[in-house]
Amino acid sequence: MDEQEFTSADPFTLFQEWMKEAEASEPNDPNAVALATAGKDGMPSVRMVLLKGTSASGFSFFTNDGSEKGLQLSANPQAAMCFHWKSLRRQVRLEGTIKDMPGEDVDTYFHSRSRRSQLGAAVSAQSRPLESRELLEAQVRAFDEKHPGEVPRPEYWRGYFLYPLRMEFWKDGPDRLHDRFLFSRKDQGWSVQRLYP
């Protein structure tokens, strides 16, 4: 791997280049990412979410703030993400702090989704026990009839940014001699280090 490519790179730009290559080569969901959180008890928990954007504010995703991850993020606003692009044999790991997305931006994204998926998100008490599939479907029908116009975004459906403090790029190499570069945020910019595989 060209070391210069890493040592002179901005990690956000590098991430966007890797994501573009993943979009061209992955069979589906190149933006799927494992999101790890832990509440006050420190017990880690991990699940997939879809990355919806990157900006100076961080890496964004959407979820229900009453879900397990939502409760953990409000108790402990720190998280980690791990992308694995199998077709490219690459991994990116992020660790950082969690910030809320402004409500207007959440509304814009919520209303850009299909009506069915807005309804589904609105009625789902995500991660809490559900008596039956029929109950969920009846709740979707009832909400649909109650709101024939725009589907209101529930307060609990929110957007978050993971503001990365560390970003690691991993690329498969021969004989397990993989390349790893770790970017750590400094007061100004980033420092970068090569790591043993």
Ligand X SMILES: Cc1cc2nc3c(=O)[nH]c(=O)nc-3n(C[C@H](O)[C@H](O)[C@H](O)COP(=O)(O)O)c2cc1C
* Residue among 78 and 184 whose Cβ is closer to ligand X: 78
Residue 161 engages ligand X in binding (rule: CB under 6 A): no
Active site residue 116: no
Long-range contacts of 19-25 (CB under 8 A, 24+ apart): 19/54, 21/85, 21/88, 22/83, 22/85, 22/87, 22/88, 22/90, 25/85, 25/87, 25/88
**The amino acid at 42:** G
> Per-residue x/- marks for ligand X, 42-81, CB under 6 A?
---x-xxxx----------xxx---xxx------------
CB of 174 to ligand X, least distance (A): 30
Residue 117 engages ligand X in binding (rule: CB under 6 A): no
Q: How far apart are CA 192 and CA 10, in angstroms?
A: 10
Catalytic residue among 89, 116, 166, 176: 176
Interface with ligand X by CB under 6 A: which residues? 29, 32, 45, 47-50, 61-63, 67-69, 126-127
What positions carry a catalytic annotation?
Answer: 176
